[in-house]
Amino acid sequence: MTETKTMLEVSGLGHRYGGGGGHQAIADLTFQVRTGELACIVGPSGCGKSTMLRSISGLIKPTAGDVRLGGAPVNGVPTDLAVVFQDYSRSLFPWLSVRSNVEFPLRSRGLSKAERRSRADEVLEWVGLGAAAKKYPWQLSGGMQQRVSIARALACRPSLLLMDEPFASVDAQTRFELEDLLLRVRKQFDSTVLLVTHDIDESIYLADRVFVLSKSPASIVADLEIPLGDERDQITTRESETFVHLRSEVARLLDVRSAQAPAAAAAETIEKSTVDDTTKQLAEAEKADAHN
């Protein structure tokens, strides 16, 4: 039997901003991401997802717990880690061409000019931007700019790719395209990915495993294997019984109503408000009767 290695190990991670009397943003997070796995973290807004990512990427020193990448403790930003942020417009250099943006982080990694060029061109082909290498970010659509960010992260061949709401700033159609792109490239580059999102459907569609976070201070409330196989597509996968079941399960864990189809949710809202209105009217009628 082959042993599955752990790439990321988070143990008892906690962070309190502002010292003793300050704000506890995350509390006692413990989870692992296996090598080659795509794990998604889904949690309510403000629960501490960004704080967790900052702690994992060494940008802040957590006030409790421990993070290990490839077995080594994370103290400071590890060189074999890459991050893709939501806001592509602020993470790309507008004065550099697409190719130079992708090559940029490779400069500090000791690669020759020719190696940098060949790596950049390879990943740009993979994200479908081979023909845009000489353009500037501001000449591209938002979705294309986010492809550049993904290419730049992959060019570093990181042990772990962290993605913080990477598709939250693009339209729905582009979001689907980028999700499928991520599924293709993570296979091609055998990447280990930890992606944070507040979108339940996205987390299930992309992941091998979903961690569900509680409200702030965040802790893990569930660790779900996603048995949807390697071949996924936006229509049949999302229609499958397994997907629909998982979506309801995650929504219940998060205690939200968004697991329902919009029409069903709207119908329930109407039904509920009708019931509430009727109850109110009956109570008022009873009150009026009592006065008469």
**Binding positions for ligand ATP, rule: CB under 6 A:** 17-18, 23, 25, 43, 45-51, 198, 216
CB of 28 to ligand ATP, least distance (A): 15
Cβ closer to ligand ATP: 31 or 104?
A: 31
The least CB distance from residue 181 to ligand ATP, in Å, is 23
Least separation in angstroms between CB 183 and ligand ATP = 24
Q: Which is nearer to ligand ATP, 47 or 206 (CB)?
A: 47
Query: Given the complex with ligand ATP, which of 143 and 217 has the nearer CB atom?
Result: 217
From residue 44, alpha-carbon distances to 41, 166, 257, 264 in Å are: 10, 16, 12, 22
DSSP code for 218: B
Beta-carbon contacts of 136 under 8 Å, excluding residues fewer than 6 positions away, are 94, 95, 96, 97, 98
Alpha carbons 183 and 191: distance in angstroms, whole number: 10
Burial class, 69, CB count within 10 angstroms (exposed 0-12 / middle 13-18 / buried 19+): buried
Q: Name the residue nearer to ligand ATP (CB basis): 18 or 229.
A: 18
Least Å distance between CB 169 and ligand ATP?
12
Could you give the C-alpha distances from 67 to 37, 40, 78, in angstroms and in order? 17, 17, 11
Element at 245 (helix H, strand E): helix 241-254
Nearer to ligand ATP among residue 6 and residue 50 (C-beta): 50
| Helix (H) or strand (E) segment spanning residue 200 | helix 200-206
In the bound state with ligand ATP, the residue whose beta carbon lies nearer, of 9 and 87, is 87
Question: CA quadruple 283, 286, 291, 292: dihedral positive or negative?
Answer: positive
Q: CA-CA distance, 234 to 246, in Å (whole number)?
A: 15
Minimum distance, C-beta of residue 58 to ligand ATP, in the bound complex (Å): 16
CB of 83 to ligand ATP, least distance (A): 14
